[in-house]
Amino acid sequence: MKKLKHLILLTFFVSIANILFSQNQNYDSVGPENGTLIAVGGGYVPDTIINKFIELAGGPDAPLVLIPTASEDPDTSGIKKIWREKGVKHISVLHTIDTKTANSNDFTAPLREAKAVWFDGGRQWRLVDSYKETKTEKLLWDVLERGGVIGGSSAGATIQGSYLARGDTKNNQIMMGDHEEGFGFLSNVAIDQHVLARNRHFDMFDILKNRPGLLGISIDENTAIIVHNDTLEVLGKSYVIIYDGTFWSREGSELKTLPDKHRLFYFLREGDKYDLIGRKIIEN
């Protein structure tokens, strides 16, 4: 009987320890070690963001690959024209809904030389259905390993996170849908977009209450995050919202009345920097 009691107590304490460990576990959120990410919150993409993307690619002569697959019926010629007008000289467009094609050498050839890749908007689950766990996805990672830049707007921003926010094929209002895994260029992160323009700033909590280890990043329209390794910087006219279970303000928070820590978020603006591993604002 004593042995049984000891076994029950031991099982109980092990269970408590596991719960406490999971709650306090450090979930690192980090971007690519060598390359750079640019994630735009949708809407009109300002020239300041486009120019930064081209600069990070190595200039207008750098080979650019455009992937418009998030759109149901992409205008591939129109997309190329837009980027030519921005001064980019060497442009390839990759678009397929067939994973066999996405695994072929001919289709993926432009990615072997690419210095930059851009994902257009639409529905992010289409990118998953076409490219997840294919040669295309592997070569996207190779672009970053070579020090290149991967960017995208709206769906093209969300796909860069490890958790795929709004990945449901039925409705874009469902935060945790039938597709939950992005490409993971940003690890342990869920990215949302159009956040202030569409009053989406409470939606991220639907994910975080079920996946508390994730860092939530919501980006408004006409605004971007630039990520290299463990540092995020904001570029653009509006705001980025950070959901890390804490609160930060330029004027301090001592006299503020704040909600429960599970409902906290705060805003970053152009020029603000954030430490992804430490999960805290980088203050000058």
pLDDT value for 21 = 39
Give the residue numbers spanning the domain of 244: 30-282
pLDDT value for 5 = 53
List the alpha helices (DSSP H) in the chain. 2-24, 47-57, 76-85, 99-102, 105-113, 124-131, 135-145, 155-158, 205-208
Enter the pTM of the model: 0.89
Q: Is residue 23 part of a domain?
A: no
pLDDT value for 20 = 41
pLDDT value for 77 = 85
Q: Is residue 104 part of a domain?
A: yes
For the chain, the farthest-separated pair of C-alpha atoms sits apart, in whole angstroms, at 81
Q: Is residue 11 part of a domain?
A: no
pLDDT value for 13 = 46
pLDDT value for 49 = 98
The total of structural domains in the chain comes to 1
Q: Is residue 3 part of a domain?
A: no
CB atoms within 10 A of CB 4: 8
CATH code, 239: 3.40.50.880
Buried b / exposed e over 71-83, threshold 16 CB at 10 Å, is beebeeeebbeeb
Q: What is the mean pLDDT, run by run of 10 residues, along the chain of 284 residues? A: 52 45 59 96 97 98 98 90 95 97 98 98 98 98 98 98 98 97 98 98 97 98 97 98 96 91 96 97 90
Pairwise CA distance, residues 237 & 217, whole Å: 17
Strand pairing category for 273-275 and 64-67:
unpaired
Q: Is residue 98 part of a domain?
A: yes
Residue 271 corresponds to which tokens in the numbers above?
């020029």
Residue 137 corresponds to which tokens in the numbers above?
């996805």
Q: Is residue 8 part of a domain?
A: no
Q: Is residue 113 part of a domain?
A: yes
Q: Is residue 151 part of a domain?
A: yes
